[in-house]
Amino acid sequence: MGRRWLWVVVALFLLTGCGAASQTSSGGGEQAAAPAQADRAEGNTGNNTGNSKNEAVSVQADRQLIRTATVDIRADDVDKAIAEVKGKASNAGGFSGQENATKTFANVTVKVPSKELDRILQELGSIGEVTRREVRAEDVTEQVADVEGRLASQRASVDRVRGLLERASSTSEITQIESELNKRQQELESLQRRHDSLKGQVAMATLTVSVSQKSAPVPVERDGFLGALLVGWDVLVTGLGWIIIVIGAVLPFAVVFGIPTAAAIWFARRRKRVTRSSEAS
């Protein structure tokens, strides 16, 4: 029993090492193959100019890009424009997401297939006047390749532990191996979720469209001297408004209490002057 338990521990240790070793060896293989590939490419430079261009196009097409775009549009009918944006996204195989709207402004975020994004961006000009368009792309090719490599290694690791579980005979061996198997399966599921998330973002681009009504005033950019001047004017107008409000609030009390007080003061001063005149005479 002691020898069998020892063999199980040794096997698990080797399995843990194999997962890391497989990734290291694959990286080393790539490093070792790189000089040879460079030598072959150097020897065939003169004969493969056309092939190199085709390969460059192929490599560019294989890049994993997460694309996002933001578009501002001015239209006569905001609701109609937003409906057209969502319709174009749906027709392209996408779907609508978050949406906010007021009477003269609205924005919507839609998901569309990445390969359809450029076409949809061109079609948005038919909805209204495009005042701003911004397109961004994040290259996640290396991240996808890394996750896929780790997924392959983790699947192989899980299969090896399952093989050990099938050969285990004692309760202690089964318990130990099942614990290790559960741990590796959780890591595999986490990697799979990460992979699915990346591939989903690559497959579906995010497009945010903001629509404002043409008759609505265009917001002024408040940068530089002109922006500071406008801000100062707004502060002055707001301050004067508050002063007027305070005066309006105090005025009724001033009328009610101020007139009797002023009359009492005037009467007291007059009586004092009369008294002084009588004493002088």
DSSP per residue, 147-210: HHHHHHHHHHHHHHHHHHHHH--SHHHHHHHHHHHHHHHHHHHHHHHHHHHHHHHHHEEEEEEE
Cα 130 to Cα 17, 81, 123, 138, 220, distances in angstroms: 57, 12, 11, 24, 17
C-alpha–C-alpha distance, residues 123 and 85, integer Å: 9
Residue 35's pLDDT is 40
Q: Is the dihedral of CA 267, 269, 271, 277 positive or negative?
A: negative
26, 145 contact by CB (below 8 A) = no
Residue 205's pLDDT is 97
Element (H, E) at 212: strand 204-213
**138, β-bridge pairs:** 66
Residues 6+ apart with CB under 8 A from 82: 99, 101, 106, 108, 209, 211
Residue 188's pLDDT is 95
C-alpha–C-alpha distance, residues 45 and 51, integer Å: 10
Residue 51's pLDDT is 55
Cα 65 to Cα 5, 19, 54, distances in angstroms: 49, 29, 20
Residues 6+ apart with CB under 8 A from 162: 181
pLDDT by residue, tens only, the chain of 281 residues: 445 554 554 455 555 554 444 444 444 444 434 444 444 444 454 455 455 544 544 445 579 999 999 999 999 999 999 999 999 999 999 999 999 999 899 999 999 999 999 999 999 999 999 999 999 999 999 999 999 999 999 999 999 999 988 898 889 889 999 999 999 999 999 999 999 999 999 999 999 999 999 875 555 555 677 777 777 888 888 888 888 888 888 778 777 777 888 778 887 877 777 676 666 66
- Structure tokens that stand for 209 in this block: 């469209």
Of 95, 127, 120, nearest to 108 (Cα)? 95
Q: In this structure, what DSSP letter does residue 1 have?
A: -
Q: In this structure, what DSSP letter does residue 103 have?
A: S
Residue 23's pLDDT is 45
Query: Looking at the whole model, is its pTM more than 0.85?
Result: no
Residue 219's pLDDT is 55
- Structure tokens that stand for 172 in this block: 């202690």
Q: Domain map of the chain by residue range?
A: 64-140+204-213
Structural domain 64-140+204-213, CATH architecture: 2-Layer Sandwich (3.30)
Residues making up the chain, counted from first to last: 281
**273, burial (CB in 10 Å: exposed 0-12, middle 13-18, buried 19+):** exposed
C-alpha–C-alpha distance, residues 127 and 120, integer Å: 11
The 10 Å Cβ neighbour count of residue 55 is: 11
